[in-house]
A and B are shown apart, each in its own frame.
Chain A
Amino acid sequence: MESSVRALVTFCWVAWSATAWVPSVEAQAVEEEVEEGGAMLSPEDLAPPDAASPAEPDAREVSEPEDPVIEPAPPLDDDPIQLVLENGLRVVLQPVPGRRFAAVGVSYAVGSGDVPSGWTGLAHLTEHLMFSGTDVLDDVAVYRRLEAAGAVVRNAITTVDRTTYYEVLPVRTMEQALWIESHRMARVLRGLDRARLERQRDVVLHEGWERNLYGWRGVMHQQRYVGVFPEGHPYTRFVEREDDVRAIRLPHVQWFFQQHYGPDDATLIVVGGFDVDRVRASIERHFSPIVRSAPAPTPVAPPPVAPLPRERRIAVRIQHDRDQVEVAWPTPALFDDGDAALDVLSELLVERRESPLFAGLVESGIALDLNARQYSHDHGSVFVIAAVPARGHTTDECLAAIDAAMEQVRRQPFDAEAVERARGDWARVVRLDAEDLGARLGLLAASRGGYVPTVEHERDRYLAVDADAVARVVRDWLPADRRLVLVGRADPLAPPGAQIVSDEGRPER
């Protein structure tokens, strides 16, 4: 099939020129105020240049100036302004003084774990269709309007638990983003048709191929969750499959949108240097008229997460040059007790040369790549240790080294000093994310069970982790004999799809 893309480019240009709307955005001035620092220094502040040979700089003596006294900043006053409109839309406003940009986002409480069985990709395809235009705006107009408003980030993310749409743009044009989000919430459904569905299906499929979702990466991902969560849990069926995406029809998307894209399914989050009163008035104006199109579904609580009853071993054949091995366990949900301790544990295991996993696998030369991570979700998490064997080594060697390192950790838990350092690193990352408007929006979008993950709340959550908490999660959630071992056996000539070679320890139905 050859289509005339060149003709299409010309068509786009004609259509684009005819309907182009570009607001007049004036150039921003930059005002500079420069002072010379010499007046701030005294002769005692300046050490004379060393006369030692520049060829041996490491032989020089170190000068030891005293540290200046810099007080820590007080905790951020970052409890956001929260309100709920009459139509149920939750609004979270986080002003950040001094910023000239703002992040505007809408997070819908529906993710890839909420699709009916056999319809993986439905949430993702719906996400794409939110950009396909409405009954009065086509997709080109949506993108163009945002970029003409100076949007430097324009993205949407579908996770297992939620779908979040957000933009980062100058404060002076941010009302465009508020209007677009309200417009999409109210009118995408009216504009959906088969042509748009087909076009976005193609884009979703391209994304799946490009990100290897339908290849070895998706295979490993799928088996990780199937192996860790009980049958029937929504997390066992969320990894996107190509044939499911191809099976979706227009009525399916319309139904899904009606079920999950009402104003009371959503949280509108705004973070940045905006005027609160002006933004509240704009939100009321644009979002208040929106109403649900169908009654909300009755939520079904998934089965609770518990440690596996026995070890399960899954081997898959993957189209890759390198074998992969993972050890995984089900763990507490996002923000639940133990979640932060597992984050801290992941750093303790791999961050330094002498860390148990790093020393046992990378320093020893057994593994080329190593990772330990807590993947946190609303209805249960997964703690994963993943390794790629180095040349001349095997997945069995990696697994033995992982087992030896974890046994060492069980016998000799991390001491208070190490835990304090690791939890401090996590708290620090959260604190620094205060500067990242998109990161703060994402954090606030993850709010659940009444807990609002502000920067300060998250810092406190990590700083509360102690050595006992880390030892407890290792004991309670990472048992040696009740886990998933997932091996990807590399075969460059294998077809892209899933090929399960063996599955030992699978629960009986």
Chain B
Amino acid sequence: MRPGLVAVLALALAGCVLRAPIPPPRDPLAATPPDALPPPPTETWPDEPLQLRLTRHQLQNGFRIVIARGEPNGIASVAFVSRATPRWDERAPQAVTSWMSQMIFRATRTDDGVVDDLLTREGFSPQIDAGALGLLVHERMPREELPRYLRALDQVLRQPELRPEDLARRVEAHADRVETELVGSSGLLDDRAPSLLYDPADVRAQGMGDRLEVIQRLDVAALRARHADLLDPSRSTIVLTGDVDPRVVLPFLGRLFGAWPAHASTPSIAPPRYREAGGPRGRIVVRPALRAYLRLVERAPPFTHSDYAAFLVLEQILGGMFASRLNLSVREGSGASYGFHAAYGATATEGAIEMETSIDPSYTRSVLDAMLAEVRRVRGEDGGVQPAELALAQTRAREMLLAQVDSSAGLAIAIARRVQVDQEPGAFGDVLRQIDVLDAPAVEAAARAWLRPDQAPLLMVVRPEHLDGVLGAGLGSFEVVTIRSE
């Protein structure tokens, strides 16, 4: 064979992928006769109501205890709740004080003489959520570990050894992470999102970069002040759930947490100040990426608002459930995306709802239009919320709540969340009832009260060739940041 021909063949073969041959399928394709299969079930099986058996007590120093006894399966869950103000002073947004709270959990001197995360060293791995509601520390364990965990938790909370060298090292690592994130498209959008929603005078408006500057100026005195906030027994509660005998644990809890010193009361957090109209509506990162990304961020009712239940349902309709119209259309219908998502989060003072999707860039404008059209629709336009989808969303919202409390861990967190906002421990029963009585007009009214399709902030990643289409859609003005890399 001539060398030139060999070269051509080699070049051609280099572009081919060798695949094993696959034989054709057998005929008939499916052997099971369809008429042999029974029809779908139409009946439901019997069930019993969810039962809560609660024991509660308040100690002399104000510390509260709630115990919900569950199945005797050997597992118990503990949630410690502090309703301390989430801001140590007006300069620091919640994200900063969250970071500071995390520091406290890594600052206990152990019996080995090491200053470390005592709970982890003891074999525990609690979930620590230092959010705007306050601090929530949750762990589950074999029931016999309860005394050891509670004792360690008490030591961690009461006796942190806050050292400048530990603070310096963690600040350095945090700065490293943030500076890396801020050069990527996700970081650029996350950094800008708070200032699009909140008034510049509200510390909630600070972005990742601003928060980093605050963290870099922290000193041990600031951490101590934050810690003093957490130690207020009048704003603290322990929730125990699962295989727990109140008669056995209550005296121990009383001795342990009853020794916390009484505290001067601390101020509550003020409600947010939202940004007024004016200024850019959002930020667009332009890059030659394989995927476009769309996110809508909007204010939403706080936990204690009468629209809370409606928004649990709206979350499902707008993308929380797989059968939401947006998810079915962009994923299963047009094949534009892996999925469309919506998420609603609420605290005592504020809430936010996000809708987002990552898509084939050629669908950028059409999916953006569809997303905003859905927001209009749930406000009552263009047919409004339909009965069948409302029923489905109510079922989802209801069952998500019930599934949460089907385990000791979920129940502890659900009770703790209610305690954090001064609700009765078993108040989720009220939420279930509120969900069930909703009708389409009520859901639409709640949507109209909070969702602004013409103003809700938008964050996007788009390809250069689609930028003009987005900017020309009459959605308002946008900041544009260009990144060269894919």
Contact = CB atoms under 8 A, between A and B. Distances in A.
Contacts of B143: 70, 72-73
B72 interface: yes
A322 B180 contact: yes
If over half of B's interface residues share one DSSP class (helix, strand or loop), that class is named, otherwise mixed; here it is mixed
A354 B26 CA distance: 61
A481 interface: no
Interface in A343-384: 351-354, 365, 368
A436 B408 CA distance: 10
B171 interface: no
B144 A290 contact: no
A100 B19 CA distance: 48
Interface string B27-48: 0111111101110111111111
B399 A30 contact: no
Contacts of B250: 37, 40-41, 45
Contact of A57 (B72, B231, B323): B231
B336 interface: yes
A173 interface: yes
Interface stretch (A58-66, A222-230, A461-469): A58-66
A99 B26 CA distance: 44
Contacts of A13: 325, 383, 386
A154 B400 CA distance: 12
A301 interface: no
A285 to B, nearest CB: 5
A496 interface: yes
A431 B60 CA distance: 37
A169 interface: yes
A135 B34 contact: yes
B386 A41 contact: no
Interface string B149-165: 00100010011110000
Contact of A27 (B26, B155, B436): B436
Given A47-B258, A49-B261, A52-B261, A255 B251 contact: no
Contact of A140 (B291, B328, B330, B400): B328
Contacts of B103: none
A100 B60 contact: no
B313 to A, nearest CB: 13
A153 to B, nearest CB: 8
Nearest to A198: B335
Contact of A290 (B32, B333, B395): B32
A68 B249 CA distance: 7
Contact of B432 (A27, A58, A187, A207): A27
A50 B322 contact: no
A4 B363 CA distance: 9
B37 A493 contact: no
Interface in A135-181: 135-136, 139-140, 143-145, 147-148, 150-152, 154, 168-176, 179
A108 interface: no
A497 to B, nearest CB: 11
Contact of A68 (B147, B359, B366): B147
Nearest to A495: B486
B176 A47 contact: no
Contact of A45 (B251, B370, B409): B251
B428 A30 contact: yes
A493 B45 contact: no
B373 to A, nearest CB: 6
Interface stretch (A17-25, A331-339, A402-410): A17-25
B49 A391 contact: no
Interface in A266-305: 275, 278, 282, 285-286, 289-294
Interface in A26-40: 27-38, 40
Nearest to B262: A49
Interface string A214-244: 0000000000000000000000000000011
Contacts of B48: 100
A425 interface: yes
Contacts of B60: 46, 48-49
B329 A289 contact: no
A28 B147 contact: no
Contact of A435 (B33, B402, B408): B408
Contacts of A25: 44, 395
A143 B57 contact: no
A70 B147 contact: yes
Contact of A144 (B151, B330, B392, B428): B392
B334 A3 contact: yes
Listed from nearest, the 3 A-B pairs whose CB atoms lie closest are: A73-B74, A118-B19, A202-B335
12 contacts: A6-B369, A27-B436, A32-B52, A47-B255, A60-B261, A73-B75, A73-B243, A118-B19, A154-B322, A175-B43, A251-B24, A435-B73
Given A28-B398, A247-B17, 17 more contacts: A17-B386, A22-B392, A22-B395, A27-B398, A30-B50, A32-B429, A37-B56, A46-B255, A54-B231, A62-B158, A65-B256, A116-B19, A147-B323, A199-B332, A289-B33, A421-B123, A424-B123
